[in-house]
Amino acid sequence: MRRFTFFLVFLFVMSTGLASVEAQMYPNTPISWGFQKSKNHKPASAGTAYEHILAKYDAFYLGDTTKKNIYLTFDNGYENGYTPQVLDVLKKRKVPATFFVTGHYLKEEPKLIKRMVKEGHIVGNHSWHHPDLTQVDDARFKEELQKVKDEYKNITGRDEMKYLRSPRGVFSERTLALSKQEGYTNVFWSLAFVDWKVNEQKGWRYSYDNMMTQIHPGAIMLLHTVSKDNADALDQAIVDLKKQGYTFKSIDDLMNERKQLKKSPSKTK
């Protein structure tokens, strides 16, 4: 019995160690996410090099660019008083969204987290302390993600947290590999603008114009809920984008579409 127990412990240690060593085999050169913005509804482009890296780890920044779908996402590092307004608009217009939250947000705003879940939105992982994940070791990396997942379960009673957005958009092949190993899909974005500077808000029209001019089929839109401009512009933007024939879908919808594409047999000549 002792030999068997020792054998199990040995296997666990070896598998954990191998996983850590495997992660270290991936390049850890920091990459700051960026892309060529959309114009005239032409899809944004991150370039083939970035797209190749993302594809290796099942990460993505776009949906199907042949369909007029929009995937609305928000980054929530802290509350500035506008998330309730955002949630009111989403509920009124029946639009799903994904909120990527930090440990601080979970600790300070459990009622808003519960409301997000109750109203059918997805809560994603934005790390516990919002560090540059390329600069932390494997153990700290896993802790940053696990603490968010644990606190989310503590608040909602739900286990599932499957989407990750890297803080500040900084990542590496190592962070992509490690997060995939931890069961996460990395979600980047194809539409964004400077909206997070709370002391430099420019009025609702600034946010509205950026959304309308950068929009394209398959857009994954990144907004920050700390922005008054975003909160004030969101309702009109949703109304007008729907008038243009766009449909708002969830990241879960996009994942299901991607899974179906993988399952579909390739056409033979």
Give the CA count within 13 Å in the CB-facing half-sphere of 147: 17
Q: 39-57: per-residue pLDDT in tens?
A: 999 999 999 999 999 999 9
Q: What gap in Å lies between CA 125 and CA 146, rounded to an integer?
A: 9
Q: Do the domain assignments include residue 32?
A: no
Is pLDDT at 72 greater than 50 in this prediction?
Answer: yes
Percent share of the chain, pLDDT over 90: 87
Q: What gap in Å lies between CA 24 and CA 30, rounded to an integer?
A: 14
Per-residue b/e over 95-111, b at no fewer than 16 CB within 10 Å?
bbbbbbbbbbbbeebee
Q: Do the domain assignments include residue 252?
A: yes
Residue 197: exposed, middle, or buried by beta-carbon count in 10 A (0-12, 13-18, 19+)? Answer: exposed
Per-residue b/e over 48-61, b at no fewer than 16 CB within 10 Å?
eebbebbeebebbb
Is pLDDT at 240 greater than 70 in this prediction?
Answer: yes
Facing residues of 185 across strands? 163
Number of domains in the chain: 1
pLDDT value of residue 18 = 41
What is the CATH classification number for the domain harbouring 191?
Answer: 3.20.20.370
Place of tokens 């955002």: 86
How sure is the predictor about 259, in pLDDT bands with cuts at 50, 70 and 90?
confident
Q: Do the domain assignments include residue 31?
A: no
Catalytic residue among 75, 195, 229, 235: 75
CA-closest candidate to residue 192, choices 4, 63, 10, 44 = 44
Q: What gap in Å lies between CA 86 and CA 94, rounded to an integer?
A: 12
Is 130 annotated in the active site? Answer: no
Give the pair of three-digit tokens for residue 30: 């920091």
Q: Do the domain assignments include residue 40?
A: no
Q: 11-35: per-residue pLDDT in tens?
A: 444 444 444 545 568 999 999 999 9
224: domain range? 52-262
Q: What is this structure's pTM?
A: 0.89
Facing residues of 247 across strands? 69
Catalytic residue among 126, 130, 216, 224: 224
How far the first Cα of the chain sits from its last, in Å, is 59
Is 88 annotated in the active site? Answer: no
pLDDT value of residue 216 = 98
Q: Do the domain assignments include residue 26?
A: no
Q: What gap in Å lies between CA 73 and CA 7, rounded to an integer?
A: 46
Q: Do the domain assignments include residue 194?
A: yes
DSSP annotation of 199? G
Q: 82-127: per-residue pLDDT in tens?
A: 999 999 999 999 999 999 999 999 999 999 999 999 999 999 999 9
Q: What gap in Å lies between CA 215 and CA 246, rounded to an integer?
A: 10
Q: Do the domain assignments include residue 65?
A: yes
Q: Do the domain assignments include residue 95?
A: yes
